[in-house]
């Protein structure tokens, strides 16, 4: 996969879930910004799309970013006001240059 630097034109924010104690002594989980980066964003197509559709993951989006340490699948991505749960992180060809991240859009219920 060849990534052109001009493809990284979308701002995305990684968030991690943190637990704190509120004024009443209860634990509260909140999403806290971890890092905002430039990314290439694309929908799945071809074989990837059909593999995702087979497990009803049609809202899967692929984000490509410069290599970044500290990411894991417990985090989520905020892009254009929508949240995406990270399902896979691929260090492309193990070169520590780019990461390809597949994430599933969080569909709010109610």
Tens digits of per-residue pLDDT, 96-108? 999 999 999 988 7
pLDDT-derived band at 4 (thresholds 50, 70, 90) equals confident
CATH superfamily, domain at 5-105:
Bacteriophage SPP1 head-tail adaptor protein (2.40.10.270)
Q: State the Cα–Cα distance between residues 110 and 101, nearest whole angstrom.
A: 28
Closest CA to 37 of 98, 105, 103: 98
Helices (H), 29-95: 46-54
Tens digits of per-residue pLDDT, 57-109? 458 899 999 999 999 999 999 999 999 999 999 998 999 999 999 999 988 75
Closest CA to 31 of 2, 72, 74: 74
User: Which residue, chain included where needed, has tokens 């209860």?
Assistant: 26
Q: What pTM, to 2 d.p., does this model score?
A: 0.80
């Amino acid at each position: 996969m060849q990534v052109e630097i001009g493809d990284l034109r979308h701002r995305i924010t990684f968030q991690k879930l943190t637990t704190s104690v509120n004024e009443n002594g209860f634990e509260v989980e909140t999403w806290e910004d971890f890092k905002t980066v430039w990314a290439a964003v694309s929908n799945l197509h071809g074989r990837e799309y059909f593999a995702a559709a087979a497990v009803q993951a049609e809202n899967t989006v692929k984000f490509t970013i410069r290599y970044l340490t500290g990411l894991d699948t417990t985090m989520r991505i905020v892009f254009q006001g929508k949240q995406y749960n990270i399902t896979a992180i691929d260090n492309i060809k193990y070169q520590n240059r780019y990461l390809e991240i597949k994430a599933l859009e969080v569909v709010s219920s109610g």
